[in-house]
Amino acid sequence: MNIYEVIRKLINKAVDARLIEKEDEVYVSNRIIALLGIEEMKAAETAGEVNNEDIPELLEKIVKYGCEKGIIEDIFDEREILSSSIMDCFIDKPSVINKHFYERYKENPERATEYFYDLSKNSNYIQSKRIGKNINYKASTEYGELDITINLSKPEKNPKDIIKEGKLKSTNYPKCLLCIENEGYAGRIGHPARANHRMIRIDLLKEQWYLQYSPYSYYNEHCIVLSKEHRDMKIDRQSFSSLLAFVELFPHYFLGSNADLPIVGGSILSHDHYQGGRYEFAMAKAEEECKFKIDRFPEVQCAVIKWPMSVIRLKSANIASLVDTAEHILNSWRRYNDESVDIYAYTKEVPHNTITPIARKKNNFFELDLVLRNNRTSKDHPLGIFHPREDVHHIKKENIGLIEVMGLAVLPARLKTELKDVGEYLLGHKDNIAEYHKNWAEELKERYREKLNSDNLEEIIRKETAAKFKRVLEDAAVFKRDERGRKAFKRFIESLN
């Protein structure tokens, strides 16, 4: 490997991507060779050569050189630290990036986010190459097109990584993966490298928040909005106000929050944050099934929407009225009981009822979807009464968070191989499959006995996997979509007046 040639190619790509200007080339090359322990930058013959390698590929080559020369140990975290440190050489300080962002925002909010999204991709903070490994498709259902993703983007650590991580002393800096202290943080064994990480400062209702993109995006412009203060997730009036304030600032984005209780909440409950982006999920397109009025809030249109989970949609041109209505529904739901459908608000002092809220703007109206959640467990259902049942665990067992609620399945990487095995089993080319898939495979074999062949196999597997995800969402509904569930939902709505 001619390391000087690779560095020159990377710099050329960075110039093309407008990460740096031509005048920055010598400075950046000196910063990179310093990281690699090289004393001088030698000339490299790249003039006129077509450079078909992208930034992630060139970075991989430089990191490989670092491992071969003993500059770093060949383990995941050290490779990531070197990679992000190299890309940090190409990126401006947060103050400069924020200045550029808000210059564009004055012209158009979309221009501002496009600038920052492109920067996050070109700087390799958004792991585009790894995300490209994911298996994605859409599946038609009675609720619209659900998005299915088999998540292959997050690399697994090998035993060598885990052993080294276990030997290190723990530290409380940064406090969590979301804190502002991650911005520019080099990383360490057991904590992601963030040297190439930048955040946009946003004022939401006179409180400091930060906008960043997810390094492992599941949809277009998948962003995270996090509070300056490291504080627990909490759904309350302030949450509704903040979500709507954000979509007023960025009307081309939606913004939602995970619920604030275990089981029905997200993976990080220790830091108040939201997720959003420039994407329209199936839930956003769901039709209104049953309209109703709350007498105290005549300005607000209310409806139950056609969705596998229990969702109330509020619409109004007036943000204050929307917030008042949402707070009323949340407070009512927090203390609501209906033993006929296993809904209890509390076990002694432990709360069970909460809401997953999602805000967006459509034309001149603001919308707020309130997904009713309950995290009770029982002896028969230790993972949650309103959680995927055991017969779908072979496809999805994990918590149902904001992204799944809106209609995007994030499925485990194991399914890439396991679903192929199921297909081979259905065709009679394989005698055995994972035990937890057997009942499902036998059902499919019986159902498609006359129709199944190698040409339609993938289509059938994908369709039936999506049907399992649809069931996952139906299991998570507090009011099921049967006669008993509809009547129970109606009783809750009537209680709002």
300 and 370 share a domain? yes
142 and 35 share a domain? no
32 and 145 share a domain? no
Type of residue found at 330:
L
| CB within 8 Å of 363: residues ≥ 6 apart | none
| Domain contains 168 | no
142 and 66 share a domain? no
| Domain contains 214 | no
368 and 462 share a domain? yes
The two structure tokens encoding residue 491? 């009783």
- In tens digits, the chain (497 residues) has pLDDT values of 799 999 999 999 999 999 999 999 999 999 999 999 998 888 876 555 667 899 999 999 999 999 999 999 999 999 999 999 999 999 999 999 999 999 999 999 999 999 999 999 999 999 999 999 999 999 999 999 999 999 998 766 555 655 565 566 667 899 999 999 999 999 999 999 999 999 999 999 999 999 999 999 999 999 999 999 999 999 999 999 999 999 999 999 999 999 999 999 888 899 999 999 999 999 999 999 999 999 999 999 999 999 999 999 999 999 999 999 999 999 999 999 999 999 999 999 999 999 999 999 999 999 999 999 999 999 999 999 999 999 999 999 988 999 999 999 999 999 999 999 999 999 999 988 999 999 999 999 999 988 899 999 999 999 999 999 999 999 999 999 999 999 999 999 999 99
Q: Which domain holds residue 324?
A: 133-154+249-497
51 and 137 share a domain? no
Q: Is 83 helix (H, G, I), strand (E, B) or coil?
A: helix
| Domain end point (choices 53, 71, 89) | 71
| Domain contains 94 | no
DSSP 265: B
| CB within 8 Å of 16: residues ≥ 6 apart | none
137 and 266 share a domain? yes
| Domain contains 107 | no
269 and 415 share a domain? yes
| Domain contains 376 | yes
| Domain end point (choices 71, 89, 109) | 71
144 and 17 share a domain? no
389 and 459 share a domain? yes
**430-437: long-range contacts, CB 8 A cutoff, minimum separation 24:** 434/394, 436/393, 436/394, 437/394
What's the structural domain count of the chain?
2
| Domain end point (choices 71, 88, 113) | 71
Rg (C-alpha) for the chain, rounded Å, is: 25
Task: Annotate 180-210 with DSSP letters as a single string.
Answer: GGGTT---BTTB---TT---EEEEETTEEEE
Q: What is the pTM of this model?
A: 0.94
Cβ-contact 36, 63 below 8 angstroms: no
| Domain contains 189 | no
| Domain contains 258 | yes
7 and 145 share a domain? no
| Domain contains 188 | no
CA distance linking residue 19 with residue 54, whole number of Å: 14
| CB within 8 Å of 375: residues ≥ 6 apart | 259, 261, 262, 263, 264, 265, 352, 354, 384, 386
27 and 137 share a domain? no
